[in-house]
Amino acid sequence: MPRKRKAKRRCGVCRKVGHNRSVCPKVPRKASKPDAPPVRARASRGATTKYVRFTAERRATFFETLTLCGLVQRASDMCGVNRQWLYELRKNDDEFAADWTDALEQYGDTIDEEIHRRAVEGWEEPVYQGGDLVGVIRKYDSALLMAKARAVRPKLYRQNVKVEADVALHTGVLVVPSVATAADWGKDDGR
């Protein structure tokens, strides 16, 4: 039995195939709110392209999440906007790019605080003996402390040191005037 073809969906306004009412150019649009910039963003991660309004609320959510985690993908998912579209907006909008940089700098400050806490202040871990808590011990992360020291004082704590030397290479054959015998070799090793 032959399969029936599905009818292609048509726009309810202009009856054209390929778009729907939400993106039809013949549908009158409401004026945007003053707090919403006049941009449409692609929605985040979907099989079909969906456009959403990039409002001040979505913008605030994006920068708030970027400040907390430093991950653009997670921040774009939280505000519901496509990550690539956000990169395009950063390239074209200087104010947006400046806010992006500020958010990442704040995230960097958070990382610095956590490195300091783990390396210098340490943390307490419980000590158990026979299943009973007998005390706590303070632990420190010395690898983080060294990384922080290299960042703060690179001349003193750097790992790779550049050594320059002026070496002249001479090639040739070394001539030894006498020949060692097996007996001579045996004298030195104490046999």
What does the pLDDT look like over 110-129, one tens digit per residue? Answer: 988 888 888 889 999 999 99
How high is the pLDDT of residue 13?
Answer: 62
For the chain, percent of residues with pLDDT exceeding 70: 60
Is pLDDT of 3 > 90? no
Band of the pLDDT at 34, cuts 50, 70, 90? very low
Amino acid of residue 62: F
The answer to whether the beta carbons of residues 45 and 84 sit under 8 Å apart is no
How high is the pLDDT of residue 137?
Answer: 93
pLDDT digits (tens, 9 = 90+) for 60-77: 999 999 999 999 999 998
For the chain, percent of residues with pLDDT exceeding 90: 26
165 or 69: which leads in pLDDT: 69
Q: For the chain, how are helix, strand and coil distributed in percent, rounded to 5?
A: 45, 15, 40
The answer to whether the beta carbons of residues 53 and 37 sit under 8 Å apart is no
Band of the pLDDT at 175, cuts 50, 70, 90? low
Residue position matching structure tokens 């390929």: 18
DSSP, collapsed to helix, strand or coil, labels residue 130 as coil
The answer to whether the beta carbons of residues 38 and 32 sit under 8 Å apart is yes
Residue 6 vs residues 1, 3, 9, 65, 103: alpha-carbon distances, Å: 15, 9, 9, 43, 48
Closest by alpha carbon to 116, among 138, 144, 137, 157?
144
Residue 19 vs residues 8, 44, 75, 138, 187: alpha-carbon distances, Å: 10, 19, 29, 63, 98
How high is the pLDDT of residue 36?
Answer: 42
Domain regions of the chain by residue span: 33-112, 122-158
How high is the pLDDT of residue 153?
Answer: 84
pLDDT digits (tens, 9 = 90+) for 87-103: 999 999 999 999 999 99
How high is the pLDDT of residue 115?
Answer: 87
66 or 7: which leads in pLDDT: 66
7 or 169: which leads in pLDDT: 169
